[in-house]
A = this chain, B = another copy of it.
Amino acid sequence: MVPTPNPERRNERSRRATLAATIELIAARGYGKVTIEAIATQAGASKQTIYRWWPSKAALALEAINDYIGEAIDFPDTGDITTDLTTQISEVTDLLTGPIGTVFRGVIADAQSDPSVGAALRETIIEPRTRLCEARLAAAVAAGQLRADVPTRVMVEMLYSVVYYRLLFGTDELDPRKTPAFLEYVFTGLRPLPPRAEP
């Protein structure tokens, strides 16, 4: 009888080494050229051990991204939505210009031909973070800082999709220093409309 692996028994040091190897190798060689075998060698783990915990390269990449960005890009709440989202989106932008950006681009590419990767990407990264951002935006709506008639889910798209557009198309530089100006354009449309002057 093969015992079911107990997630709590997974060795944390080995897990971290494996995820670090995943990021390092993908950043150096590109997602498509990295094999589970190469990750195992780099991490000093056996291929079987890796497959016991992660069913695929995409699963490794997604957990690596989540671990790496986990606490770095929480949604702050200082009471001012413009300040808070500027901080958060600048941090996301900064992360995406580094190794994590290369890993993320690889997973997104993989998701275009493999629906199970797309589902895992949504379930482990996109949707949980969308919900966190929506909660922060809902607090700003309640505080009268944002319009109540735009769904917070649409606000999330309006705020983040340009970041991914630049990441994936490479049209313009992803520069955290440009975040404040860009957000100002978006927020102008999302703030409660000022009362119109009488004609």
Query: Which residues from chain A sit less than 8 Å from chain B, CB to CB?
Result: 30-33, 105-106, 108-113, 118, 121-122, 126-127, 130, 150, 153-154, 157-158, 160-162, 164-166, 168-172, 182, 185-190, 193-198
A158 touches B186 (CB 8 A): yes
Interface SS of chain A: helix, strand, loop or mixed? Answer: helix
Closest to A168 in B: B108
A198 to B31, CA, bound (A): 57
A170 to chain B, nearest CB (A): 5
Count identical subunits in the complex. Answer: 2
Residues of B within 8 A of A158 (CB): 158, 162, 185-186
Closest to A167 in B: B112
Residues of B within 8 A of A171 (CB): 122, 126-127, 130, 157
A112 touches B122 (CB 8 A): no
A184 to chain B, nearest CB (A): 9
A72 to B37, CA, bound (A): 47
A187 touches B189 (CB 8 A): yes
A182 touches B194 (CB 8 A): no
Residues of B within 8 A of A161 (CB): 161-162, 164-165
A104 to B161, CA, bound (A): 17
Residues of B within 8 A of A187 (CB): 189
A171 to B156, CA, bound (A): 11
Closest to A165 in B: B161
Residues of B within 8 A of A157 (CB): 162, 165-166, 171-172
A190 touches B185 (CB 8 A): yes
